[in-house]
Structures are given as structure tokens and as C-alpha cells.
């Protein structure tokens, strides 16, 4: 292998990293090994990972059960096209997803990333209404502060003001945005002013709306905002009332992160379409899924107008990749065999105990904790990099964005590493806060 200085010099000048320039303002940290919740750098520093690789590594890195399943599949059939062919891992994974997700979701479309899963969900919704000879229902509705991906269809339903895609405004389809849900997971269920705004927009525009898209309970990259389950329950009722499909984006919240297997379970509802990703393989390889109902699949497969195609015209080359499907099966089976709810409660307790006192700092606007998610919202948006640098100096890895310093550790992170993580975040925020206060 080339020496690291030479590799990093090439990286700086030629490799584009997420949401960065070339060369980047701050060089990335070279990682040479992962194990559990530990990242080992090229300088042999060990960092406790507080990001789970953007929500994904539920069981930490290199889990032996998942690696064993992947090795066995790699030796047999790492990939095969899914067009006209099928294989056991795809079938068994689909069986598990149908069994675990809320009824009546029982049709599975396997793709290779969360953004593509949402693209497919949008296609399903649009084609459903065309198949029913209602092409006027061609718009989407969503809420502000949402995030659904970086592809063009998904960019159009991310927050149009505070999102990351304003540069492409003129190229994006124009959809309908309701105010964001009032922040607060434990708000009184009678606080309905936010849902009233949704109802007013649905009443006015429902004849042109194909589907309403929403992240259940937790708005992720659009602000790490938590909202009450009753809002989601009322939204389901309104979508039924106004004949609008409901797309539930569980890409970030699926498989336990909030304390329920799926965040929509807090409201006891099901979407007409659900997307999964990130956590599907436990962060070991890319895979995502879009689930829908037989009602929708049958409408698409049997359109009322003969000129409408009776197929869902989407087929990624690596759709239902056997290696990824086998990793997902192992990941799901592992999760269900553990006391994951107790781990989520353990993490939630530690995050609340150590992070919530930061709310007393002038620099801190609010501290929020739900399940295995801890968020420190600052009053300024220019401190992410110095806080990240302080965290690395404290041997932990987090990646703030904007005003948000947040963590989502692996469910099985040991208590000692969890304490190191929360203590390091507290020290980093305090160290940045003290010079500002002085």
C-alpha cells in the first residue's frame, strides 16, 4: 500500500466527499479498521463512533453473525441480475419484511439506496393514480424540515428553504408544503394547530395530490426534530379522508432507533407505502426497500386505461443483490434475537443524564433525546467543525451539521464506551462555550 501521506494528498485533490468541496475545508480522517463501536485511524487513534455511520450500524462494525452470512454468500453467488431471475436471499428477506412491517404492507421492491427507495415510492404513488385514470393527482405534499434524499424527485420534497438543495430550485418539481409538526414528542395530544394547517391544505389541493410523504416521529437531516405520535395518527386519518396515499419514510428510523421496531408504531398506523434503508443490513453493505400494499400493486398491474403500462418501470442493476440480501437477513435475525429494547432504554437514559444539563449553557438552544438519538441544538451554526475537532481530541467521532450536535450510537455499544461518548460530547460543547461566554 502507498504511504498514507501520499494517499491523503491524492484524496484531498481528487476525491469528492459528501457535502464537501475539492479540496475540502477540513481533511477527512483516514480509518484503517473498524470493530464494534471503535474506529481505528491511520495514526492508530481509537475513536468511539457516535454516528453509526449515519444511523446504519445497529450492531456496530464487523459483527461476526453478519460477516459469517456474507462470507457464505460471497462464496456462492455475490451477485446476479434480478430481471427474469430470482434467488433465495431476496425471497427470504422479503418474507421477513412482510412479516415485520405493519399490515397491509405485503409487496416488496428491493433497491440499493434510501434515495432510490423514495424515488420508487414516488413512482408507485404517481403510477397508481394514472392506472386508476386519475392523472390529475400528480403532486406530492409533505412538511417543512423534512429530508428524503438527494436525487431529483426526493430533493423536491426536502425542505425548500432550510434544505440543502436550493441551488436546483428551478429544476425541481413544485410540490405542496405544510408547516412542520410542532416539536415535542410528549406534547399534549390536544395541541392540533399544526395538523389543522395540514387539513386546510389537503382540503384545498387533495384533487391534485397523489401522496403525502413524511418521516415518522423523527425528522432527521432536516433538523433532528421529534414530534408527537398523535400528529401521525391524525395525518393517517386525513389522508384516508381526502383520498391521498401516505408514504412513510422509515429509512432513518426503521429497526428500533426510536424504541419501536418502526417509528410509525408509536402512532399505531401503517403507510400505504413504506421505505427502508440505512439499517437494513446493519450498515455492512448498501441495500434499501420500498414496501406497498396489494391494492396499489394490483392497480399498477391492471390499469383501467390500456395505454398505461402495467409494469413498475424501475430496475436498478444491483437490485436485490444477493450479498446485501443475505446481510439484511442476518442483521434482522440478530436484532430480533437480542434485547434491543433494553439497549435502547439504556442508551436513552445515558444520553438524557449527560446531555440534558448542557441546556443550561447560553450557547445551547435545546437538548433532545428519544430512544438512541441524542441532539444538542446550538444557537449558532458555525461551530460544527471546532466541536468535531474537540470530539476527536477526546477520542470520539461525531459529525455535527449546522446548529446540531447529535449522536446515534450502535445499540450494543458497551457502557464504558457510551460514557466516553457522552462525556466527550459534553466536554467539546463546554470547551467551545466557555471562550464564547468569556
In CATH, the number for domain 4-62+339-437 is 3.90.1150.10
**Over the stretch 156-178, which tens digit does the pLDDT of each residue have?**
999 988 767 778 888 889 999 99
Contact 179, 197 (CB under 8 A): yes
Task: Give the per-residue pLDDT at 437.
Answer: 57
Among residues 112, 278, 406, 411, the one annotated as catalytic is 278
Q: How far apart are CA 275 and CA 280, in angstroms?
A: 11
Query: pLDDT of 329-349, one tens digit each?
Result: 999 999 999 999 999 999 999
Give mean pLDDT, residues 292-317: 95
Structural domain boundaries in the chain: 4-62+339-437, 77-337
Using pLDDT thresholds of 50, 70 and 90, give the confidence band for residue 436: low
Give the pLDDT band of residue 38 (cuts 50, 70, 90): very high
Distance CA 112, CA 351 (A): 32
pLDDT at 161: 80
pLDDT at 291 over 80: yes
Which of 430, 324, 329 shows the shortest CA–CA distance to 97?
329
- Cβ atoms of 437 and 363 closer than 8 Å: yes
Catalytic position from the list 159, 249, 272, 343 = 249
The 8-class DSSP code of residue 268 comes to: T
Asked if residue 43 has pLDDT above 60, the reply is: yes
Residue 170 has what pLDDT?
Answer: 85
What per-residue string of b and e applies to 298-309 under the rule 16 or more CB within 10 Å gives b? ebbeebeeeeee
For residue range 231-259, what is the model confidence (pLDDT) as tens digits? Answer: 999 999 999 999 999 999 999 999 999 99
- Rounded Cα gap, residues 397 and 375, in angstroms: 15
Q: Is 406 a catalytic residue?
A: no
CA 431 to chain centre: 30
188 band by pLDDT with thresholds 50, 70 and 90: confident
Which candidate in 61, 128, 147, 406 is catalytic? 147
Would you call 19 a catalytic residue per the annotation? yes
Q: Closest Cα to residue 247, out of 141, 112, 111?
A: 141
Q: How many percent of the chain have pLDDT more than 70?
A: 98
pLDDT score of 289: 98
pLDDT in tens, 193-229: 899 999 999 999 999 999 999 999 999 999 999 999 9
Distance of CA 127 to the CA centre of its chain: 25
Residues 70/75/80/85 CA torsion (nearest 10 deg): -100
Could you please state the CATH topology (level 3) that the domain comprising 77-337 is classified under. 3.40.640
Spatial distance between the Cα atoms of 189 and 176, rounded to a whole number of angstroms: 25
pLDDT above 90: residue 1: no
Residue 438 has pLDDT above 70, yes or no: no
- Percent of the chain residues topping a pLDDT of 90: 92
Place of cell 475513536: 47
Single out the catalytic residue among 19, 203, 295, 437: 19
| CA–CA gap between residue 41 and residue 176 (Å, rounded) | 45
Residue 46 pLDDT: 98
pLDDT score recorded for residue 340: 98
Burial annotation 93-107 (CB, 10 A radius, 16+ → b, else e): bbeebeebbbeebeb
The pLDDT value given to residue 233: 97
pLDDT exceeds 80 at position 192: no
Contact 214, 252 (CB under 8 A): no
Task: Yes or no: say if 372 and 348 are a contact pair by the CB < 8 Å rule.
Answer: yes
pLDDT at 303: 97
Sheet harboring 273-276: ordered strands across? Answer: 105-111, 288-293, 273-276, 245-249, 209-214, 139-143, 176-178
Per the document, the length of the chain is 438
For residue 128, give the C-alpha cell: 397508481
Amino acid at each position: 500500500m502507498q504511504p498514507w501521506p501520499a494517499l491523503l494528498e491524492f484524496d484531498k485533490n481528487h476525491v469528492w466527499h459528501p457535502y464537501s468541496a475539492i479540496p475540502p475545508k477540513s481533511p477527512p480522517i483516514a480509518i484503517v479498521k473498524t470493530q464494534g463501536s471503535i474506529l481505528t485511524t491511520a495514526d492508530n487513534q481509537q475513536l468511539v463512533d457516535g454516528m453509526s455511520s449515519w444511523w446504519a450500524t445497529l450492531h456496530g462494525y464487523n459483527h461476526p453473525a453478519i460477516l459469517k452470512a456474507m462470507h457464505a454468500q460471497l462464496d456462492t453467488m455475490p451477485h446476479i441480475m434480478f430481471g427474469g431471475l430470482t434467488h433465495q436471499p431476496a425471497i427470504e428477506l422479503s418474507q421477513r419484511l412482510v412479516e415485520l412491517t405493519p399490515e397491509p404492507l405485503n409487496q416488496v421492491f428491493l433497491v440499493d439506496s434510501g434515495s432510490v427507495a423514495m424515488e420508487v415510492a414516488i413512482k408507485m404513488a404517481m403510477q397508481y393514480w394514472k392506472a386508476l385514470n386519475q392523472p390529475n393527482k400528480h403532486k406530492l405534499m409533505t412538511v417543512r424540515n423534512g429530508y428524503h434524499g438527494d436525487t431529483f424527485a426526493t430533493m423536491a420534497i426536502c425542505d425548500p428553504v432550510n434544505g440543502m438543495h436550493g441551488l436546483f430550485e428551478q429544476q425541481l418539481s413544485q410540490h405542496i408544503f405544510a408547516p412542520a409538526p410542532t416539536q415535542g414528542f410528549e406534547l399534549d395530544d390536544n395541541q392540533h394547530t399544526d395538523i389543522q394547517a395540514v387539513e386546510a391544505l389537503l382540503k384545498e389541493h387533495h384533487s391534485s395530490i397523489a401522496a403525502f410523504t413524511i418521516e415518522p416521529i423523527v425528522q432527521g437531516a432536516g433538523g433532528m426534530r421529534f414530534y408527537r405520535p398523535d400528529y401521525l395518527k391524525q395525518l393517517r386519518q386525513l389522508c384516508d379522508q381526502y383520498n391521498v396515499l401516505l408514504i412513510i419514510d422509515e429509512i432513518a428510523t426503521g429497526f428500533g432507533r426510536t424504541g419501536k421496531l418502526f417509528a410509525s408504531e408509536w402512532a399505531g398506523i401503517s403507510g400505504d407505502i413504506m421505505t427502508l434503508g440505512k439499517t437494513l443490513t446493519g450498515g455492512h453493505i448498501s441495500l434499501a426497500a420500498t414496501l406497498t400494499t396489494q391494492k396499489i400493486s394490483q392497480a399498477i398491474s391492471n390499469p383501467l386505461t390500456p395505454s398505461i403500462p402495467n409494469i413498475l418501470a424501475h430496475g436498478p442493476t444491483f437490485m436485490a443483490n444477493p450479498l446485501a440480501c443475505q446481510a439484511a437477513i442476518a442483521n434482522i435475525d440478530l436484532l430480533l434475537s437480542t434485547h434491543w429494547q433494553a439497549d435502547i432504554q439504556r442508551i436513552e437514559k445515558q444520553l438524557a443524564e449527560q446531555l440534558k444539563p448542557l441546556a443550561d449553557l447560553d450557547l445551547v438552544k435545546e437538548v433532545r433525546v428519544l430512544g438512541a438519538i441524542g441532539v444538542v441544538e446550538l444557537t449558532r451554526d458555525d461551530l460544527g467543525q471546532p466541536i468535531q475537532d474537540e470530539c476527536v481530541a477526546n477520542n470520539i467521532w461525531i459529525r455535527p451539521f449546522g446548529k446540531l450536535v447529535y449522536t446515534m450510537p450502535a445499540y450494543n455499544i458497551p457502557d464504558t464506551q457510551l460514557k466516553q461518548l457522552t462525556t466527550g460530547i459534553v466536554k467539546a460543547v463546554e470547551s467551545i462555550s466557555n471562550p464564547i461566554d468569556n
